[in-house]
Amino acid sequence: MRQTRRRRSELATPASNEGMCEKAARSGADLVFLDLEDACAPSVKETARSIAVGALTGLDWGSTVRAVRVNGLDTPWCHGDIIEIVTGARQSLDVIIVPKARSARDVWWVDVLLTQLEAKLGIEEPIGLEVLIEEAEGLANAVEIARSSARLEAIIFGAGDLSASQQARVDGNFDPVSEYPGDFWHFARVQVVTAARVGRIDAIDAPYPAYRDPDGYRRAAVHASLLGFDGKWAIHPDQIAIANDVFAPTPEEVEEARMAIDAYRSAESGGVGAIGRDGKLVDAAHMRHAATTLRKAGLPAGGGGEGGSSGSEGDAQRVSSAGS
């Protein structure tokens, strides 16, 4: 069964840098991933594995989810990355992040290897997976990928490699180099978040390379949150607090969700399926929104009713396990 974890902020950290790993462990990010891929030059990719294992097993991570991004399946390092990291870290590893997923078969390959390692090493808690949608083929197969494995907990929108895959004309922040009518990445983001909802997993937004532009990061995070994303990558510790703030419901939103659910359930017990509240119609669809707000706040929906059941059984399970 999939784990339910907070992913408002996911901090990227070079696996080859011991000092940065130590800082990451106390950064306050919901998830930290030690990066063996883009953050490591080819000459240090193999030696970085032992540094990552040492950080995972030797540092106090508190409630932070511990993850490692391995190298791509089409590289000579991926197989060794997974075997060495899992063998060394064992239960000190929560999630493996797979870059450049192109099809469900890519996820299946990692799933099978993890299953074999867990059985061999006696690892009782299954290691979760996240995958990056950052190739044109992967974006086209996003729904298939999102439904490919019971281990899969999140898919991540990767604007950098996706823009290269699509041969798009963008700058270093992955924005179009000339005036563009509308949001350049809107269609891709909607595809990713839709696939995540079909697969009943989380959706994580792309990194924002301009780490000295907190206003720009916040603006990008807000736009992603409005579309339904659950969190965003951070490439610098200064971005963590912004992501944690943006992707958490405000106290006002939580209170409104609770009041709406209470009012609706009270009316429902009397046989009424829709009510008027503050001059607006409130029905079962609104209860799904309210349940989502409470889940993202780490709170239960507060019992039965339409908070989880108006959508699907999967929605109800996510609500009931919130905050676990």
User: 176 near 170, Cβ under 8 Å?
Assistant: yes
Q: How many CB atoms lie within 10 A of CB 279?
A: 5
In sequence order, what are the residues at sequence separation of 6 or more whose Cβ sits closer than 8 angstroms to the Cβ of residue 221? 205, 208, 232, 242, 243, 246, 247
Cβ neighbourhood burial of 302 (10 Å; 0-12, 13-18, 19+)? middle
Same domain for 159 and 54:
yes
Query: What is the model's pLDDT at position 309?
Result: 30
Which of 90-104, 229-243, 274-288 is least confident? 274-288
Q: What is the pTM of this model?
A: 0.85
Q: Give dist(CA 256, CA 230) in Å, integer.
A: 20
- Highest mean pLDDT among 244-253, 266-275, 299-308 belongs to 244-253
Cβ neighbourhood burial of 79 (10 Å; 0-12, 13-18, 19+)? middle
Only one residue has tokens 């729904």, namely: 143
* pLDDT surpasses 80 at 271: no
Q: Give dist(CA 57, CA 64) in Å, integer.
A: 13
Mean pLDDT throughout 206-224? Answer: 97
Instruction: Report CA-CA distances (Å) from 93 to 4, 52, 66, 108, 236.
Output: 15, 10, 6, 19, 22
Same domain for 267 and 195:
no
Confidence of residue 302 (pLDDT cuts 50, 70, 90): low
Question: For residue 134, is it within any domain?
Answer: yes
Domain edge (last residue) among 202, 230, 246: 246
Q: Give dist(CA 66, CA 183) in Å, integer.
A: 33
Share of the chain above pLDDT 90, in %: 75
* pLDDT surpasses 80 at 176: yes
Query: What is the model's pLDDT at position 267?
Result: 72
Question: For residue 273, is it within any domain?
Answer: yes
Mean pLDDT throughout 182-187? Answer: 94
Taking only the tens place, the pLDDT of each residue in 87-99 is 999 999 999 999 9
Mean pLDDT of the chain: 89
Only one residue has tokens 């949608």, namely: 133
Query: What is the model's pLDDT at position 49?
Result: 98
Question: For residue 76, is it within any domain?
Answer: yes
The b/e string for 176-194 (b: 16+ C-beta within 10 A; e otherwise) is: eeeeeeeebbeebbebbbb
Q: Give dist(CA 324, CA 322) in Å, integer.
A: 6
User: 117 near 148, Cβ under 8 Å?
Assistant: no
Instruction: Report CA-CA distances (Å) from 241 to 9, 23, 31, 191.
Output: 8, 15, 13, 27
Query: What is the model's pLDDT at position 303?
Result: 37
Number of domains in the chain: 2
- The single-letter DSSP state of residue 92 is G
* pLDDT surpasses 60 at 275: yes
Domain edge (last residue) among 231, 246, 261: 246
Domain edge (last residue) among 246, 264, 283: 246
Question: For residue 2, is it within any domain?
Answer: no
Confidence of residue 319 (pLDDT cuts 50, 70, 90): very low
Query: What is the model's pLDDT at position 166?
Result: 94
Same domain for 190 and 144:
yes
Question: For residue 3, is it within any domain?
Answer: no
Query: What is the model's pLDDT at position 175?
Result: 93
Q: Extract the runs of DSSP E, i.e. beta strands, from 173-248.
A: 202-205, 231-234
Confidence of residue 254 (pLDDT cuts 50, 70, 90): confident
Query: What is the model's pLDDT at position 185?
Result: 96
Question: For residue 221, is it within any domain?
Answer: yes
Same domain for 139 and 41:
yes
Q: Give dist(CA 138, CA 166) in Å, integer.
A: 11
Q: Give dist(CA 217, CA 106) in Å, integer.
A: 31
* pLDDT surpasses 90 at 146: yes
State the angle between helix axes of 45-58 and 18-25 in degrees (0 to 180), rounded to the nearest 10.
30
Q: Give dist(CA 141, CA 154) in Å, integer.
A: 15
Same domain for 315 and 201:
no
Which of 138-152, 176-190, 207-221, 305-319 is least confident? 305-319
Name the residue range of residue 55's domain. 9-246
Same domain for 178 and 120:
yes
* pLDDT surpasses 60 at 103: yes
Q: Give dist(CA 34, CA 93) in Å, integer.
A: 11
In DSSP notation, 138-191 reads HHHTHHHHHTS-TTEEEEEE-HHHHHHHTT--B-TTS-BSS--SS-TTHHHHHH
Which of 80-84, 194-198, 251-255 is least confident? 251-255
Same domain for 211 and 276:
no
Query: What is the model's pLDDT at position 314?
Result: 36
* pLDDT surpasses 70 at 229: yes
Confidence of residue 321 (pLDDT cuts 50, 70, 90): very low
User: Residue 118 is part of a domain; what is its CATH number?
Assistant: 3.20.20.60
